[in-house]
Amino acid sequence: MKYAVGLGLLVTLALTVSACGGGGTEHQQAQAQAKGRPLPKYEQAVLPAGKYHTTEFKPPLSFRLTGEGWRFEGPSETLGDPEHSDYLFFQYRPMGGEGEIAFFNLRKVEGVYKPRAGPHGEIEPVPAPGELVGWFQHHPYLETSKPEPVTVGGVKGVQFDVVTNLPKRSNKDSVGTFKLSTGGPTAVYYTKTEHFIVLENVKGVPVVIVYKNEKDVFDDFVPIAEKVLKSVEWTGS
């Protein structure tokens, strides 16, 4: 009888430990599903619909993509992978033009280019200004719409459209904006409309979000981009 009782206790303990372990695994799986799959480490042609989270960009975030046509790649001029600590790019290409959504950490980018009607601005950038909205509004080669309030992932900010205002005799096609840590530039092109969102404090970090497309299909891209941004969650410090 003593042996039987001892065996019964061992079985009970084993079942209890197994149940606890199983619960832990289920909890971890639920957390992973809530967070989504990690973005690829390297450029990938296609991003299937689903929820994703960043692996390098700071502050970390997750977002959801729906439908087909998403690609994990950035402009060739960025000279680096689509995701880095200071930027994140992904594109949408089922329609005409090339829809794009980008995130920038203003603490980590190399700076902004001095106003110049060219693709890269000055060779050396200047530090990103604390009042970025005003910098865009007073840029001699850019036109902005009236800033309006916006919230992304529970963080308040302002949003506005930006287009180029290049001299008529200029043979340039873009105006340089941010210089990235990889050495590549970003720019506003005369063929495109860009929508900027400036969030001054995302867990202590100023973040800029940009979505853009060719001017003739930009309005069609707006609801698609806004759906992605409505799904954004800032997931870490």
pLDDT for the residue 47: 93
| 16 and 73 inside one domain | no
| 96 and 29 inside one domain | no
Do strands 205-214 and 192-202 pair parallel, antiparallel, or not at all (unpaired)?
A: antiparallel
Q: CATH number, domain at 226? A: 3.40.1000.10
Domain that holds residue 132: 41-234
pTM of the predicted structure, to 2 decimals: 0.83
| 10 and 100 inside one domain | no
Task: Give ∠ CA 93-98-104 in degrees, rounded to 5.
Answer: 110
| 28 and 133 inside one domain | no
| 92 and 31 inside one domain | no
Q: List beta partners, residue 163.
A: 143
| 111 and 193 inside one domain | yes
Tens-digit pLDDT profile for residues 14-55: 434 344 445 556 544 555 556 689 999 888 779 999 999 999
| 70 and 120 inside one domain | yes
Domain count of the fold of the chain: 2
Tens-digit pLDDT profile for residues 82-137: 999 999 999 999 866 789 999 999 999 989 988 865 544 455 788 888 899 999 99
| 24 and 80 inside one domain | no
Neighbours of 88 (CB within 10 A): 25
Do strands 70-71 and 192-202 pair parallel, antiparallel, or not at all (unpaired)?
A: unpaired
Do strands 174-179 and 185-189 pair parallel, antiparallel, or not at all (unpaired)?
A: antiparallel
Q: List beta partners, residue 105.
A: 207
| 130 and 15 inside one domain | no
